[in-house]
């Protein structure tokens, strides 16, 4: 069938693909029907010879009589523009080679491996074009290996666990990764390269987790479906990009944006998408003052919602999240979610009235859909639920999937399986059709699809502040920029001021709560405490939350180490102002900040920092607020308390 000229068919082949600056090199090998690749940076081995391949159900492995038919190389060097986010302009600069393979024997399958080598990482994917004998395929396994030195250090969270991605990061040796872990998996090699293994453009496929195989090599473990297979796909099909970010320091890894450039530009107009800062009928439930369920202490009443809308106006915050507004929260909501109704309000909450009131005050309502993982129930109401919000002029929805598994098509499936991935995608596309932006809690991890779907403004997908009151240490948020946040923004629910609450004791200082608005980027950013906690601070600590931007022109990582501290500067998209912030673990720290990234000498710095006696345990409220004139030739020296942080607004004069 495939009559490739004999002279083109190569049984053995080796080729180097070199990055634009010549420093990163990928070597590709075909020998004895096996495909391998390895990565070098400046002659240092980053990844040893690692196997590639796919295994299909009911078919023999594509392993025998494998021939390279041809290769095709090209280069790209362009700048892309993101509509919102941490950096407006991103470089998409790579050298690409595609390797076209065919089986010399029946069934003469063909497939392509496409590699892109950037200065700061490498990506590849498998592409299966249409072929006469197959219209669909069932993927049994993906053989992709990442052969890292077993002595390397990794920062991991476990995969396939009931709380999804909501775990504390642990520092371990790669040689110990016998149980699957999620990506991005950040690694420091013994020769001091910093890597993060991840994927980009995850569509219609199980998400990639990683674990050691029987040869103790780190291998992709694609999340299975309940039938034990990895994915059922129609041809043509391409896997997500397998991505290895490469940096020479932990701090420079934090601005690796390859996940975005590996995704496609949007196919429709998204100029209606706007980032948002919001408060919520929310933390009052976490500290036990109000309830999601109807009753005496019901949070989402018409009266409370009006009070909160008025408060948002006073605070100068544009949005209000309302949780617990709909039918289904009675009793143990984590068990009963199968009955949740997404178009029916509780009897004490009038959605059209609140939507109307909010509009009259210029406040955006953030709607809420808690599915508890009962996806069948949610999907049966999906169109109606999104129409209902759209009809009431609501342009933002926070969704949630708080269950250990999803129920889809009557089966229990992982959130991060192919059907889970497809469900999230369905909500993003339906939301886009209704001009609605999403903030997904218990989401699928980020793989840069916000580039194509900018209405996906944020997601959770890590342990957030709701775990405070015992399950978060000051180091937790110091891991995130180097791990979870490499997959995009996060709704961490920042800005809790009630730090000594008995129900939810917070393990940070007050200045640190402000710092989060800069250190943890989110296109939908929550000021999570109850408004009365902010009202007395409008001219002090809350002013920073009011002022801080939700979309940045550029981000400059300044200093940090994984799990220890992180300092970053970000320039506002819409003004000449800058925001600089830092956080530290349990250890107090002195930070020296050189302001040479500023472009002139006339800035007014508003500095919010831990007081001399501040401490996350003994004196969390100790904060010093001061202003100062600074410029690009100046520097600032800041002391961070244990569990502390700082936030600075630099206003150009």
- Would you please indicate which residues are annotated as catalytic (active-site) residues? 466
- Residue 370 contact partner, candidates Ca ion, ligand NOJ, none, CB within 5 to 8 A by sort of partner: ligand NOJ
Contacts to ligand NOJ from residues 471-490, by CB under 6 A? none
Contact residues toward Ca ion (CB under 5 A) are 441, 460
Q: How far is the CB of 468 from ligand NOJ (least distance, A)?
A: 12
Contact indicator for 397, 368 with CB cutoff of 8 Å: yes
Q: How far is the CB of 318 from ligand NOJ (least distance, A)?
A: 19
- Residue 450 contact partner, candidates ligand NOJ, Ca ion, none, CB within 5 to 8 A by sort of partner: none
- Residue 344 contact partner, candidates Ca ion, ligand NOJ, none, CB within 5 to 8 A by sort of partner: none
- How many whole angstroms separate alpha carbon 149 and alpha carbon 190? 8
Task: Report DSSP letters for 329-365, one per residue.
Answer: -SS-HHHHGGG--SS-B-TT--HHHHHHHHHHTT-EE
- How many whole angstroms separate alpha carbon 487 and alpha carbon 469? 26
Residue 203 has a CB neighbour count (10 Å cut-off) of 16
Q: How far is the CB of 274 from ligand NOJ (least distance, A)?
A: 22
- How many whole angstroms separate alpha carbon 340 and alpha carbon 61? 45
Q: Among candidates 93, 91, 70, which has minimal Cα distance to 18?
A: 93
CA angle 238, 240, 243 (to 5 degrees): 135
Contact indicator for 213, 143 with CB cutoff of 8 Å: no
- Residue 484 contact partner, candidates ligand NOJ, Ca ion, none, CB within 5 to 8 A by sort of partner: none
> Which C-beta is closer to Ca ion: that of 132 or that of 162?
162
Q: How far is the CB of 163 from ligand NOJ (least distance, A)?
A: 10
Site string (426-465) toward ligand NOJ, x via CB under 6 A: ---------------x------------------x-----
> Which C-beta is closer to Ca ion: that of 67 or that of 441?
441
- Residue 610 contact partner, candidates ligand NOJ, Ca ion, none, CB within 5 to 8 A by sort of partner: none
Adjacency order of strands within the sheet including 54-56: 54-56, 136-142, 231-234
> Which C-beta is closer to ligand NOJ: that of 120 or that of 491?
491
> Which C-beta is closer to ligand NOJ: that of 403 or that of 448?
403
Binding footprint of ligand NOJ, residue count (CB under 6 A): 7
- How many whole angstroms separate alpha carbon 646 and alpha carbon 469? 22
Q: How far is the CB of 166 from ligand NOJ (least distance, A)?
A: 8
- How many whole angstroms separate alpha carbon 359 and alpha carbon 362? 5
Site string (353-372) toward ligand NOJ, x via CB under 6 A: -----------------x--
- How many whole angstroms separate alpha carbon 87 and alpha carbon 229? 38
Q: Among candidates 444, 441, 455, which has minimal Cα distance to 399?
A: 441
Contacting ligand NOJ (CB under 6 A), which of 120, 142, 199, 466? 466
Strand 44-52 and strand 54-56: the pairing is unpaired
> Which C-beta is closer to ligand NOJ: that of 182 or that of 368?
368
Q: Is 57 in the site for ligand NOJ (CB under 6 A)?
A: no
- Residue 87 contact partner, candidates ligand NOJ, Ca ion, none, CB within 5 to 8 A by sort of partner: none
Contacts to ligand NOJ from residues 295-334, by CB under 6 A? 323
> Which C-beta is closer to ligand NOJ: that of 166 or that of 413?
166
Query: Which residue has 């601070």 as its token pair?
Result: 537
- Residue 95 contact partner, candidates ligand NOJ, Ca ion, none, CB within 5 to 8 A by sort of partner: none
Site string (386-405) toward ligand NOJ, x via CB under 6 A: --------------x-x---
> Which C-beta is closer to ligand NOJ: that of 466 or that of 585?
466
Site string (530-549) toward ligand NOJ, x via CB under 6 A: --------------------
Give, in order, the Cα–Cα distances in Å from 352 to each of 223, 248, 282, 349, 523: 41, 54, 20, 9, 26
Which residues make beta-bridge pairs with 465? none
- How many whole angstroms separate alpha carbon 249 and alpha carbon 484? 17
Q: How far is the CB of 559 from ligand NOJ (least distance, A)?
A: 31
- Residue 476 contact partner, candidates ligand NOJ, Ca ion, none, CB within 5 to 8 A by sort of partner: none
> Which C-beta is closer to ligand NOJ: that of 299 or that of 582?
299
- How many whole angstroms separate alpha carbon 418 and alpha carbon 405? 13
Q: How far is the CB of 146 from ligand NOJ (least distance, A)?
A: 31
- How many whole angstroms separate alpha carbon 220 and alpha carbon 52? 10
CA angle 397, 407, 219 (to 5 degrees): 95
Q: Among candidates 339, 345, 335, which has minimal Cα distance to 367?
A: 345
Q: How far is the CB of 414 from ligand NOJ (least distance, A)?
A: 18
Binding footprint of ligand NOJ on the chain (CB under 6 A): 323, 370, 400, 402, 441, 460, 466
């Amino acid at each position: 069938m495939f009559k490739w000229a004999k002279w083109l068919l190569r049984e053995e082949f080796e080729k180097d693909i070199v990055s634009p600056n010549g420093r990163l090199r990928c070597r590709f090998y075909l020998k004895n029907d096996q495909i391998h690749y390895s990565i070098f940076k400046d002659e240092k081995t980053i990844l040893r010879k690692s196997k590639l391949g796919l295994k299909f159900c009911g078919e023999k492995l594509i392993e025998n009589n494998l021939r390279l038919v041809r290769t095709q190389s090209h280069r790209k060097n362009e700048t892309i523009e993101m509509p919102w986010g941490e950096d407006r302009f991103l470089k998409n600069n790579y050298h690409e080679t595609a390797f076209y393979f065919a089986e010399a024997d029946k069934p003469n399958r063909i497939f392509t491996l496409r590699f892109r080598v950037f200065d700061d990482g490498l990506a590849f994917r498998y592409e299966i074009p249409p072929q006469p004998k197959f219209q669909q395929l069932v993927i049994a396994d993906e053989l992709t290996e990442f052969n890292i030195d077993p002595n390397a250090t990794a920062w991991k969270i476990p995969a396939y666990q009931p709380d999804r991605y909501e775990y504390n990061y642990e520092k371990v040796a790669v040689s110990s990764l016998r149980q699957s872990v999620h990506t991005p998996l950040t690694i420091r090699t013994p020769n001091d390269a910093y890597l993060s293994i991840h994927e980009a453009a995850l569509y219609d496929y199980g998400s990639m987790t990683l674990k050691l195989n029987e040869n103790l090599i780190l291998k992709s473990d694609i999340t299975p479906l309940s039938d034990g297979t990895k994915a059922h796909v129609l041809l043509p099909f391409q896997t997500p990009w397998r991505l290895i970010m490469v940096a020479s320091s932990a701090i420079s890894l934090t601005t690796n944006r390859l996940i975005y450039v590996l995704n496609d530009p949007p196919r429709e107009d998204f100029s209606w998408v706007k980032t948002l800062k919001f408060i919520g009928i929310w933390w009052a439930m976490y500290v036990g003052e109000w309830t999601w369920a109807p009753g005496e202490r019901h949070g989402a009443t018409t009266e409370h919602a009006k009070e909160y809308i008025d408060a948002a106006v006073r605070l100068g915050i544009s949005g209000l999240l309302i949780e617990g507004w709909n039918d289904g929260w009675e009793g143990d909501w984590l068990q009963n979610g199968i009955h949740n109704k997404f178009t029916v309000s509780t009897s004490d909450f009038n959605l059209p009235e609140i939507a109307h009131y909010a509009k009259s005050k210029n406040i955006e309502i953030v709607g809420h859909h808690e599915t508890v993982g009962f996806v069948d129930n949610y999907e049966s109401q999906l169109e109606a639920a999104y129409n209902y919000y759209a009809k009431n002029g609501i342009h933002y929805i926070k969704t949630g999937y708080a269950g250990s598994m999803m129920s889809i098509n009557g089966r229990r499936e992982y959130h991060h399986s192919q059907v889970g991935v497809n469900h999230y995608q369905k909500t993003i596309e339906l939301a886009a059709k209704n001009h609605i932006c999403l903030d997904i809690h218990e989401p699928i991890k980020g793989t840069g699809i916000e580039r194509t779907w900018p209405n996906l403004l944020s997601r959770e997908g890590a342990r957030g502040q709701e775990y405070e009151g015992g399950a978060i240490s000051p180091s937790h948020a110091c891991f995130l920029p180097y791990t979870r946040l490499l997959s995009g923004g996060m709704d961490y629910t920042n800005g809790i001021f009630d730090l000594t609450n008995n129900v939810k004791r917070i393990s940070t200082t007050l200045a640190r709560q402000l710092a989060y608005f800069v250190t943890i980027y989110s296109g939908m950013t929550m000021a999570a405490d109850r408004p009365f906690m902010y009202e007395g601070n409008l001219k002090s600590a809350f002013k920073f939350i009011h002022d801080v931007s939700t979309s940045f022109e550029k981000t400059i990582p300044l200093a940090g180490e994984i799990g220890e501290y992180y300092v970053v500067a970000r320039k506002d998209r819409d003004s000449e102002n800058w925001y600089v912030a830092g956080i530290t673990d349990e250890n107090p720290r002195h930070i020296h900040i050189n302001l040479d990234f500023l472009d002139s000498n006339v800035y007014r710095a508003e500095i919010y920092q831990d007081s001399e006696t501040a401490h996350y345990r003994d004196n969390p409220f100790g904060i010093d607020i001061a202003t100062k004139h600074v410029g690009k030739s100046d520097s600032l020296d800041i002391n961070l308390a244990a569990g502390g942080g700082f936030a600075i607004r630099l206003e150009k004069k």
